[in-house]
Amino acid sequence: MSDSTALVRAAVIGCGDISAVHLAAIAARPGTRLVAIADTDVGRREAASATHAVPGFATLTELLDAIEVDVVHITTPHSEHAPLAIEALGRGVNVLLEKPFAHSLEAGRALADAVAAPGAGKLALCFQNRYNTPVRALFDRLRSGDLGEIRGAVGTVLWHRTADYYRNRPWRGTWSGGGGGLLMNQAIHTLDLLQWMLGPVEQVSGSASTRSLADVIEVEDTAEMLLTHAGGAQSVFFATLANSRNAPIEIQLETEHAVATLRGDLTIEWADGRVETVTEPVTATGERSYWGVSHELLIDHFHSTLADPEPFWIGVDAGLDTLTTINAVYDASFPDRAARTAVKETAE
């Protein structure tokens, strides 16, 4: 087992929106100290460096050449995830990687190879919703057998994004920068939970389209799919950014003995009439409450197990599973996306 009392020296690479959650979690953990940040944008870099009183660097390479770190948190645009993680892992540095695992399946496979290389650091993927108390309770009930056989599931993500959300960070709406839209950026957490609970996806039938933001983005804002999981259970999934608000994400499982619904809290309606509820003890508030409350739990867990020889429990498999499912939908709906990206990059 690792020595959870050892000081963990952490750096954050990328100082955009989601970095604030990581920086707060690092500050809240007694056994971790922030030692540096990096961002290619001068304004963001200087602001973060001043706010947190640590050195700021333009690149990961410069940071690792100058500062001893135990773990880097990568919170950059998606297209930078795999290259930065591969560089850090190759230098023996541990990596906590924001989702997605990579912006393409090809890049994801290269990252998986880097994780497996001799001397590589450990990698954790930030699918933090697995740490939500109601989610854990449902997973434990499924694995215990109390609920019986899983007959099927439904997952929905009904959220809202404005044109300005993409204009403010143009990479989000592009294949080259984001690797996709809704499925890669917002709905990926719910897809991960479905695959975690029902098992790996063996067959995908689905489509993705741009329904409300086509004048701003080239990627999808709406998607639907039917997933067949190992063992034969199926899940139906629908997600959109065209809703009028960020509604609570919902996952409903029909099992042999009950219907279980995750909608913030967990409600289990048993076949014998009993109703059981498991609530989230800490509730997120504010404009970005949909990010949930569990980043801090995942980060604490990873930092406390850095010295353990075993891989972190959310890593390569979880990353490639979601990428493979999403890639199948993209291949069916946007078969020319690679060519369009190449044309755009040539023009630029």
What are the structural domain ranges in the chain?
Answer: 8-127, 129-281+314-346
What confidence score (pLDDT) does residue 70 get?
Answer: 98
Fold of 8-127: Rossmann fold (3.40.50)
| 78, 299 Cβ separation under 8 angstroms | no
**Better-predicted residue by pLDDT, 346 or 125:** 125
pTM: 0.94
What confidence score (pLDDT) does residue 282 get?
Answer: 74
Which positions ≥6 away from 51 have C-beta within 8 Å?
none
Q: Do domains 8-127 and 129-281+314-346 have the same CATH topology?
A: no
What confidence score (pLDDT) does residue 341 get?
Answer: 64
What confidence score (pLDDT) does residue 6 get?
Answer: 83
Strand partners, 9: 33
Evaluate if residue 311 carries a pLDDT over 70.
yes
Fold of 129-281+314-346: Dihydrodipicolinate Reductase; domain 2 (3.30.360)
Phi-psi region of 332 (alpha: psi -120 to 50; beta: other; left: phi over 0): alpha
Evaluate if residue 346 carries a pLDDT over 60.
no
Handedness of CA 51, 170, 60, 295 (dihedral sign): positive
**Angle (nearest 5°) at CA 39 between 38 and 43:** 120
- Condensed to tens digits (0 to 9), the pLDDT of residues 160-207 reads 999 999 999 999 999 999 999 999 999 999 999 999 999 999 999 999
* DSSP structural state of residue 275: E
**Lowest-confidence segment of 158-167, 302-311, 338-347 by average pLDDT:** 338-347
Tokens of 234: 């199926």
